[in-house]
Amino acid sequence: MTQLEIFQKFGAIQIRDVIPETLAHYITHVMLRQNHEMKIQDILQTDDAQVKNALACMNHSIMCETIGERIWPFLENILGEELIPTYSYARLYQNQNSLEKHVDRPPCEISISIQLGRSHHYSWPLFVGGQRFDLAECDGVLYKGYEVEHWRNPCDGPEGYYSGQVFCHFVRANGPYAKYAGDERWPDEMPFERFRTLSMETK
């Protein structure tokens, strides 16, 4: 079966080397600094409703949404159809964190969860439908976030373990959830742009 056939049948596929290692480590570095700032300000937990005791969370940040914009054409090539970004965010997990079994909102019709940097070689499994994914740094799981249940069991990594993840969400441009483009945050103009840096990269 092709990747596309597996995706259509099971709702999830693993993709190698979605982003460069230097970028994966950089984003994790940023979240470690964010966690340090939280400690200085005596902030006990993030504003992340899903995983309240995560070490850090970057909601709707320009950095995360730029990653979604850069991988946008790459994911369209895999799926063979046009997508529209909705939103992205990143989270820094630690031991004992877990993610309850759930499906996402309609703006997460097509989603990718990308493994960022982590403190140890231990890979904390992600379960999507009937599949288990053990990701290397920079790898991602592309999945039907609004259709297929996904979860993580309590993290049991080595002492001091942390693991970064960035989540980029899309809708099908010609699908039933296209109205959620940009997560309905910008009524007048979409903030996302394909090939924004084309002149820079082809000069």
Residue 162 CA to residue 159 CA, distance in Å, equals: 9
By residue range, what is the domain housing residue 185? 3-202
Cα–Cα–Cα angle for 4, 8, 14, nearest 5°? Answer: 55
Q: Domain containing 90 — which CATH number?
A: 2.60.120.620
Task: Give bridge partners of residue 111 from the DSSP assignment.
Answer: 143, 169
Count Cβ atoms below 10 Å from residue 162 Cβ, excluding itself: 23
Question: Which pLDDT score, from 0 to 100, does residue 150 have?
Answer: 98
The whole-number average pLDDT for the span 126-136 is: 97
pTM: 0.94
For residue range 39-79, list pLDDT tens digits in order: 888 766 676 778 878 998 888 688 999 999 999 999 999 99
- Per the structure, the count of domains in the chain is 1
